[in-house]
Amino acid sequence: MNGVLPNEVTSINTLEILNLFGNSLSGALPARLGKLPLTFLDIEMNAFSGNLFTESFLKLADTLTILHASFNQFSGAVPDSISKFSLLTELWIGNNIFVGIIPESITSLENLESLILKDNDFSGGIPSSIEKLSGLSVLLLDDNSLTGGIPEGMSELVKLKQLALNNNTLVGPIPAGFKNFKQMTTFRVFENRLNGSIPVLTEMKFLGKFIQAF
């Protein structure tokens, strides 16, 4: 499927699940999309562009639980109003052209289990209150322009199985509390400016891939 998203799709007033994964759809998302009672939206692997978090799109906050929008050409910043999506369990917006900071308000999405922001141009620091996302099992922030240190609070995300911070400009040590990541299977922090010692990783019994370069 190519071209723009057909109006016929956004005219189905009872539509709750919309999966358009892996097509060649392009252009901006139609404003009419925000009027649907969507709980699941997968638009990954297309060529959608423009601002994803428009005023009309934000109207999905009352129903949406899963948003997969990676591998498109969305641009602009993620607004503080992302906090309205309190039902989200999966927020995947990697491999786009997002810029600006990762808003601190994203840590109010306490139902999140998977947060993928990789391969964008986010700058600034990792949100200092990241520990509020205590249900996270996947956190991918790699291939951005993030600076500053790794927040100590990240050590409290003990459900993490996949953590990728590589290819940023992070500085300072890896928090000692990372030794408590007993469920970790993937841990990537290479291509930063980290220093200090590496925490004891013997508790990471399921670790399949560990790459470290200071």
In tens, the pLDDT along 154-170 reads 999 999 999 999 999 99
CA–CA dist 105, 137 (Å, integer): 19
Report, as ranges of residue numbers, the positions in the chain whose pLDDT lies below 70: 200-203, 208-214
CA–CA dist 213, 174 (Å, integer): 12
pLDDT at 9: 87
Write the single-letter amino acid at 155.
S
pTM of the model: 0.94
Q: Which residues have C-beta within 8 Å of that of residue 72, sequence separation ≥ 6?
A: 43, 44, 45, 46, 47, 48, 49, 95, 96
- Report the alpha-carbon angle 117-15-36, nearest 5: 65
Phi, psi dihedrals of residue 91, rounded to the nearest 5°: -125, 105
- Domains of the chain with bracketed CATH: 1-105+114-124 (3.80.10.10), 130-214 (3.80.10.10)
178-187 residue pLDDT tens: 988 889 999 9
pLDDT at 74: 98
